[in-house]
């Protein structure tokens, strides 16, 4: 099988030396790429900036912004049977990127933001992707309810729901605890390494291919 996996944060430029980003380490996505490869599959990993080593045998594309990641996923999703979009894509980016470093001034500064493209939401409707589609939902409240809405709205087969308000799991941690939300069930995976969680996600995703 051929897998496409997104990982890591995106960076949205403010000026040549500043950007908006988030605390994603990329570990969950890299663990997914490693797990899929370990199971004998072809893997294309599209990642924002991280400090991680790329798992051996994985095709790797490094991107910076949400727009870069959108274009890379659009171009690479053809021929893919399983897409797992675990990147923490920035939802907003500055409307304009300053050409020169912004100088400080007295008083407040206002930064106008606009929405970035929704990569997961574009898979079915814009890219015509027909394979297994897995998204992530990192929430601090109403986790399962939001995951189920996302499952339907974005045409996913499974949402990996992740409570990022809890210390010791999720963002910037080597451990995770998630619930796999599908149309018919909610499967809770108790706290474990991201490598073990990744293997369970990969195996569950493959069950959609019969
Ligand atoms: O709606 P929310 O951002 O919480 O959705 C998270 C899921 O959507 C993750 O799977 C993430 O990779 C994906 N996503 C995306 N493009 C965006 C924002 C999120 O693919 N612009």
Domain assignments of the chain as residue spans, ordered by start = 2-91+113-206
The neighbour count for residue 201, using CB atoms within 10 Å, is 26
User: How far out from the chain centre does Cα 2 lie?
Assistant: 17
> Is 36 near ligand 1, meaning CB less than 6 Å away?
no
Annotated catalytic, 142?
A: no
Sequence-distant (6+) residues with CB within 8 A of 53 are none
Q: Residue 183 corresponds to which tokens in the numbers above?
A: 């149309």
Q: H-type helices in the chain, by residue range?
A: 27-38, 66-76, 119-125, 143-153, 194-206
Tokens 């944060």 belong to which residue?
9
> From the CA of 86, how far away is ligand 1's center (Å)?
8
The pTM score is: 0.95
**Architecture of the domain made up of 2-91+113-206:** 3-Layer(aba) Sandwich (3.40)
Q: What is the pLDDT of residue 169?
A: 67
Cβ(178)–Cβ(161) under 8 Å? yes
Radius of gyration in angstroms for the set of CA atoms belonging to the chain, rounded to a whole number: 17
The stretches in the chain having pLDDT less than 50 are none
Distance 138 CA to ligand 1 centre (A): 9
Instruction: State the catalytic residue, choosing from 22, 146, 162, 176.
Output: 22
What is residue 206's predicted lDDT score, i.e. its pLDDT? 97
In angstroms, what CA-CA distances link 165 with 1, 168, 169, 190?
35, 10, 9, 16
User: pLDDT at position 170, please?
Assistant: 67
- Distance (angstroms) between ligand 1 centre and the Cα of 89 equals 6
pLDDT tens by residue, 140-153:
889 999 999 999 99
pLDDT of residue 140: 85
């Amino acid at each position: 099988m051929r897998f496409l996996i997104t990982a890591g944060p995106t960076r949205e430029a403010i000026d040549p030396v500043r950007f908006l980003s988030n605390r994603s380490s990329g570990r969950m996505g890299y663990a997914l790429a490693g797990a899929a490869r370990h199971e004998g599959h072809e893997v294309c990993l599209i990642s924002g900036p991280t400090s991680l080593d790329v798992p051996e045998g994985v095709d790797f594309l490094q991107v910076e912004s949400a727009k870069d990641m959108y274009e890379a996923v659009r171009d690479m999703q053809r021929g893919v049977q399983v897409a797992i979009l675990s990147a923490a894509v920035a939802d907003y980016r500055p409307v304009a990127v300053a050409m020169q470093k912004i100088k400080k001034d007295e008083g407040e500064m206002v930064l106008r933001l606009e929405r970035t493209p929704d990569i997961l939401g574009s898979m079915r409707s814009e890219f015509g992707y027909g394979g297994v589609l897995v998204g992530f939902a990192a929430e601090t409240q109403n986790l399962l309810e939001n995951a189920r809405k996302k499952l339907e709205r974005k045409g996913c087969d499974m949402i990996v729901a992740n409570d990022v308000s809890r210390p010791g799991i999720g963002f910037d941690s080597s451990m995770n605890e998630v619930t796999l939300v599908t149309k018919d069930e909610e499967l809770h995976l108790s706290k474990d390494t991201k490598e073990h969680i990744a293997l369970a996600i990969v195996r569950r995703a493959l069950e959609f291919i019969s």
